[in-house]
Amino acid sequence: VIKVAVAGATGYTGQELVKLLVGHPEVHIQALLCHSHEGQTYSDLFPQFIGEVDLPLLHHSAINQVVHQCDVLFLALPHGAAASLVDEELLSAVKVIDLGSDFRLKQASLYDKWYEMAHPGPHLLNSAVYGLPEWNRVAIKKANLVANPGCYATTVLLSLMPLMLAGASLTDTVIVDAKSGVSGAGRALSLPVHYNECNESVKAYKVASHRHTPEIEQELAQMAQKEVKLLFTPHLVPMSRGILSTAYVTLNNGASVGQLKKLYEDQYKNEPFVKVLSSESPETNRVSGTNNCHISINFDERTGSAVIIGALDNLVKGAAGQAVQNMNLVCGLPETSGLVRRQMLTPA
């Protein structure tokens, strides 16, 4: 049995993670930590867990004791907090899966620029492993520190990596127009996600300036073996959860939708959590509550553009589910353990 602790257990990502961990057949939750509810029972705060998770919450400051009783520590914290907490000593005691953004970028200077603060632990960036299992499985299995990708990044990377690997993009710019449910903004109170402000409304935000941009560019460029520029526009959509990303890539003239589909189907045919749809377009409610990502392949001959659409649940495959998937890999468990209703075949 894998003993785990969760820091930041009261946010939306934390709650989803606890829900998955409590149902995982190989996991025991050792401790739940938080900032403001020390001493309260988890199920008192969140009645959906009555009779299931009646643990009292610990304060984050107890983390250094806690890790000595654990195999894996999950961090679901605001940016900056994880990197302030993790050091070699901690990593010698426990394997860390960080659901935040502190260990995703390889260059501290990029972090400093996009997050507008000096990275608290730049020397750890090299040893952190980017936790996108479908494209980095081997390295994750050996990692002590896994940087779980952002929710947008997961959607976009799963949608675009096959094209990058094939060197199919004619230009160095890709455009991604993404739509997210409101849970992506977290549980902290703020006017834009007050019910009446965002209900019955769609808007773009952080146009061409969202912090997942450099993370996506980094991974695309590494796969394409050349610079890739991302023009990324996230939108807020009135629903609780789900991300849909619509990616536009200019291709060589000779491309066909059949070739493209084959490329994706070959790439993902053994993946338990990525499904290339044959004809339907992805809908976020089809993946809600699952660790699945649905992808559809379209090609517009009139403009020579591929339109790749991906959908996933931002709280599951975009966060907590992928973190559990990474934990499975790090701990040598079957990759789908605790994430599927029935055991499915994992890639050989």
Q: Which residue has the tokens 């468990």?
A: 333
- 189 vs 348, which CB is nearer to a copy of itself? 189
Smallest distance, Å, CB 19 to a copy of itself? 7
- 143 vs 155, which CB is nearer to a copy of itself? 155
- 127 vs 209, which CB is nearer to a copy of itself? 209
Alpha carbon dihedral 89, 90, 94, 95, in 10-degree steps, equals -110
Smallest distance, Å, CB 140 to a copy of itself? 22
Q: Which amino acid is at 295?
A: I
Distance CA 48, CA 15 (A): 10
Q: Are 202 and 235 in contact (CB under 8 A)?
A: yes
Q: Are 160 and 308 in contact (CB under 8 A)?
A: yes
DSSP 277: -
Site for a copy of itself in 260-319 (CB under 8 A): 272, 275, 277, 280-290, 292, 294, 296, 298, 300, 302-303, 305, 307, 309, 311
Active-site residue, 34 included: no
Q: Which stretch binds a copy of itself (CB under 8 A): 59-67, 75-83, 131-139, 184-192?
A: 184-192
Distance CA 110, CA 115 (A): 8
Q: How far is CA 72 from the centre of its chain?
A: 18
Site for a copy of itself in 201-240 (CB under 8 A): 201-205, 207-208, 229-231, 233, 235, 237-240
Per-residue binder mask for a copy of itself (CB under 8 A), 20-39, x = binder: --xx----------------
- Catalytic residue (one of 34, 151, 198, 293): 151
Q: Are 105 and 83 in contact (CB under 8 A)?
A: no
**325 is a contact residue toward a copy of itself (CB under 8 A):** no
**344 is a contact residue toward a copy of itself (CB under 8 A):** yes
Q: Phi and psi dihedrals of 309, rounded to 5?
A: -115, 125
Site for a copy of itself in 40-79 (CB under 8 A): 46-48, 50-52
Distance CA 178, CA 233 (A): 6
Smallest distance, Å, CB 206 to a copy of itself? 9
Site for a copy of itself in 239-258 (CB under 8 A): 239-242, 244, 246, 248
Q: Are 133 and 322 in contact (CB under 8 A)?
A: yes
Q: Looking at the annotation, which residues are catalytic?
A: 151
